[in-house]
Structure 1
Amino acid sequence: MQTQRKTLSTVGAVSAAAALGLLTACGADKTDAGAAPADPGVPVTGTHWTVDSVTAGGKKTDAPGTKAHVAFDKKGRVSGNFGCNGFGGVAEVKGDTITVDKIAKTEMSCGDEIDKLETTLTEALKGKLKASVKGDKLTLTTAKGDSITLTSEPPAELDGTKWMLTATVEKEVATSLPKGSGKAEKAHLIFDEKAGTVHGNLGCNTVNAKAEVTDGKIELGTPRLTRKMCDGDVMKAEQHLVKLFGTTVTYEIDHRTLHLTGKDGLGLNANASNVKK
């Protein structure tokens, strides 16, 4: 399934990444123009906070397995994901109070369960919120008693992390790996920087290759593959991934998401597994 360009409801028809960039830039301008910068009184900035649950009207909704997360920066901005759709806005931190305003988000339906979670989170993450940090836990509480519980999550490292492949990329268009045969769910790569190698599975066949990592780039060697045959869509995606080998690709890690980009705009996206292997 191709990933469609998503738009922010208050920004217009541009890509989600660009729109969120515009929003955060505007947030920075407003902060510089007079809004108070984030106060270090509550140690919440500079951390990726994964949403554990949200409680509204006395009903608790757990959010494990979603993309839901929140990040506050020291320039008075907030960004993240409500479970499926990305968002950005302005956040003022004073003492133990965080005031969230001007939230804009992408608009994509992701199924009833996620849509309901997103609606609840959107309502809970606005206005004045009381913040409480205990260890790696953050609780944000609204004036009417609704709350969001979150856990700090460290960024993933390229080396040793089991990167679960989620999509192929061609000229900035991401296409989800097929799941029809179930094989694609195993697709992953593990880099060993000390040994200068990478191994894993490309959806059907296992792969081993040299992988020299230097300054944001990876020189991928010729792949050694098993010779299984799988469903047509799985093999098509695998052939796309194979084209990245024998070339030098750039890599970028956005917290726990890995982007590899090769020549002609070919690439892949992957998410860090919870367990390093």
Structure 2
Amino acid sequence: MPKPRALVVLVPLLLLTACGTETGAGGGTGSGADTVSPDLPLAGTQWTVDAVTVDGRRSVAPDGARLDFGQDGRARGNTGCNTFGATVVVRGDGVTVTPQEVTEIGCPADRQRFEQELLKAFSGPLKGTTKGDALRLDSPDGRNGLELTAEPAAALRGTTWKVDGLVSGESTASLPAGSEAKARFVIGADGRVTGNLGCNDFSATARLDEKARTLTVEGPAATTRMMCTSPQMKLETRLYELLDGPLAYRLNHRTLTLTDASGEGLTATATAR
């Protein structure tokens, strides 16, 4: 497995042009008008990547593979390991993608392979087709493409949040290598937070102030007493330190960010339903 490297903070990268519907005058006789089909409604949408096809070979996506199109024309995605960005121009059902930055976290071999395929498929001129909550983006020759499903927004309470990054000020770093699988938690309607922060299961009483957008764990957490690998214990220690005090939260569709007064915190993603 490649040696993990520091996570690169992505800069907003995309320009998504919405042209809408254009109507032009017909010939000199004024007998008709030419209508351009409206652009694909991609701005402000979030998608789960279900599968990609490269050179006619289809591969099912790993957990965490996703693609988001921002309202401001920026798009970002996750390959199931690294995050990436690309500039996108939309005209009618045509989507032109110019890849930009990719972070460089070390991944297992199967995820590396899928990552290479996804980045190859999400490049160049593509044609978009929608059906219900599904979106396909295919190359002109049909040999490369992506299969996507629209993601519903996640509720703060009752959702299982998988911890996927550590926040420090304006930057976000990956979790310690070897600790990525277990850390997750649920904020219950009964005011309890339960889950696992890298090694041991935990349960704690919490006070959620949705007006102030703060989460405060009240009193010590009850935990199991297992011994785990060094990376898992390191992550658990860090996350328990973060829970010792009020945390500001920010919920963006299916991403939750918790930070303390100094700007230290975590990011978590809603798990698939």
Note whether the superposition's TM-score is higher than 0.5. Answer: yes
Over 3 Å counting, the alpha-carbon distance change for 1:110 and 1:177 in structure 2 is closer
Provide the aligned C-alpha RMSD in A.
3.1
Paired residue type of 2:258: L
Q: Which residue of 2 aligns with 1:161?
A: 159
Q: Which residue of 2 aligns with 1:188?
A: 184
Give 2:47's match in structure 1, choosing from 33, 49, 56.
49
Shift of 1:152: 0.8
Q: Which residue of 2 aligns with 1:80?
A: 77
The structure richer in helix per residue is 1
Computing the radius of gyration from Cα coordinates, the structure with the larger value is 2
Whole-angstrom CA distance in 2 between matches of 1:170 and 1:107 = 17
My pick for the range that moved more, 226-235 or 211-220, is 226-235
Over 3 Å counting, the alpha-carbon distance change for 1:110 and 1:224 in structure 2 is closer
Q: Any stretches of 5+ residues in structure 2 without a counterpart?
A: 21-37
Q: Which residue of 2 aligns with 1:200?
A: 195
Shift of 1:235: 4.5
Length-normalised TM-score, structure 1: 0.74
SS for the counterpart of 1:221 is strand
Q: Is the 8 A contact 1:48 1:153 kept in 2?
A: yes
Paired residue type of 2:175: S
Paired residue type of 2:194: H
SS for the counterpart of 1:64 is coil
Q: Which residue of 1 aligns with 2:101?
A: 105
Shift of 1:225: 1.3
Paired residue type of 1:200: G
Q: Is the 8 A contact 1:161 1:190 kept in 2?
A: yes
Deviations along 1:156-191, whole A, 9 cap, x unmatched? 2211112233455566564636758xxx85543221
* 1:116 matched to 2:113: yes
Over 3 Å counting, the alpha-carbon distance change for 1:271 and 1:116 in structure 2 is same
Shift of 1:130: 1.2
Whole-angstrom CA distance in 1 between matches of 2:229 and 2:122 = 44
Whole-angstrom CA distance in 1 between matches of 2:83 and 2:181 = 24
SS for the counterpart of 1:271 is strand
Q: Is the 8 A contact 2:250 2:256 kept in 1?
A: yes
Q: Which residue of 2 aligns with 1:37?
A: 18
Number of positions where the alignment pairs a residue of Structure 1 with one of Structure 2: 248
Deviations along 1:2-34, whole A, 9 cap, x unmatched? 97434xxxxxxxx423xx22x34xx4xxx7xxx
Q: Is the 8 A contact 1:165 1:268 kept in 2?
A: yes
Q: Is the 8 A contact 2:52 2:146 kept in 1?
A: yes
Over 3 Å counting, the alpha-carbon distance change for 1:250 and 1:87 in structure 2 is same
Length-normalised TM-score, structure 2: 0.75
Deviations along 1:19-51, whole A, 9 cap, x unmatched? x22x34xx4xxx7xxxx5354532333211111
Q: Which residue of 2 aligns with 1:211?
A: 207
Whole-angstrom CA distance in 1 between matches of 2:74 and 2:172 = 28
Whole-angstrom CA distance in 2 between matches of 1:232 and 1:84 = 21
Over 3 Å counting, the alpha-carbon distance change for 1:124 and 1:186 in structure 2 is closer
Paired residue type of 1:16: V
Whole-angstrom CA distance in 2 between matches of 1:70 and 1:188 = 22
Q: Any stretches of 5+ residues in structure 1 without a counterpart?
A: 7-14
SS for the counterpart of 1:143 is coil
Whole-angstrom CA distance in 1 between matches of 2:178 and 2:123 = 37
Q: Which residue of 2 aligns with 1:92?
A: 89
Whole-angstrom CA distance in 1 between matches of 2:71 and 2:263 = 34
